[in-house]
Chain A
């Protein structure tokens, strides 16, 4: 019963480095999301996808890129990491279709940029 799987769980980056956060789900969900959560704050939407080949910007997309080549995978790319990108990143998915259902989250990826 894997659900939503994120890797890595922890990562330290130097300013200017790049990396990809991986997210995969095995529930055949159409909708996938990337959020970031800063300490004591709510979740902010970075990017989302309503199906393979379709992606859209959320509230805070600057500094990030995504792709959705398959239903299962939704990687988040950080280019030129900055200290402001230090955060906890959550990937989530839901079936979509007839109204919103439950959002299922991965365990999160804790990123520190030094």
Chain B
């Protein structure tokens, strides 16, 4: 079993749609959690950290359930510019990356 698993994707959604990404992790010792965004042929960049209480940054909401070892990312009112691959990342001893879920927002 992979340490971090994500929805296989790709997700193709129209502009303005709400889209949710799911992620599960197997290492219960993981201490920190993140969502990174990776544009095609570019390096990953931090989208947001994920806290146990849940956190929101504009149209983006991240949630963490430590008991279920589950992380989610919700994007509301999606824009064309949201098209990218979204990487779920955990950190215990080291950062562990999920395989990513590709999102295409269509006009």
A residues in contact (CB < 8 Å) with B: 33, 35, 40-45, 48, 58, 90, 99-100, 102-103, 105-108
B interface bracket (residues with beta carbon within 8 Å of A)? 20 to 34
Q: Is the CB of B94 within 8 A of A43?
A: no
Q: Is the CB of B43 within 8 A of A105?
A: yes
Q: Does B18 contact A (CB under 8 A)?
A: no
Q: Is the CB of B98 within 8 A of A100?
A: no
B residues in contact (CB < 8 Å) with A: 4, 31-32, 36, 41-46, 87, 89, 91, 94-100
- B95: which A residues are within 8 A, CB to CB? 33, 45, 100, 103
> How many A-B Cβ pairs are below 8 Å?
43
Consensus secondary structure, chain A interface: loop
- Pairs A-B, 3 closest by C-beta atoms: A105-B43, A42-B99, A43-B97
Q: Which residue of chain A is the closest to B2 with respect to CB atoms?
A: A42
